[in-house]
Amino acid sequence: MTSTQESFRVAAVQTVSSTSLDDNLAQAGALIARAAEAGAQLVGLPEYFCLMGRHDHDKVALRERYGAGPIQSFLADQAKQHGIWLVGGTLPLESPDNDRIYNTTLVYSPEGHVVARYDKIHLFGFAKGTESYDESVSIRPGDNAPQAFDAPCGKVGLSICYDLRFPELYRAFGPVSLIVVPAAFTYTTGSAHWEILLRSRAIENQCYVLAPAQGGRHENGRRTWGHSVLIDPWGEIVDCLDEGPGFVVGNVEQSRLAELRQALPALKHRTM
The residues annotated as belonging to the active site are 47, 120, 161
- Kindly report each contact of residues 260-266 with a partner whose C-beta sits within 8 Å and lies 24 or more positions away, as own/partner: 260/206, 260/233, 260/234, 261/206, 261/233, 264/206, 266/204, 266/206
* CA pair distance 57, 78, nearest whole angstrom: 27
Measure the CA–CA gap between 136 and 140, rounded to whole angstroms. 6
For residues 228 and 242, is the Cβ–Cβ distance under 8 A?
no
Of 54, 49, 56, 60, the closest CA to residue 21 belongs to 49
The 3-state DSSP class for residue 269 equals helix
Residue 200 CA to residue 31 CA, distance in Å, equals 28
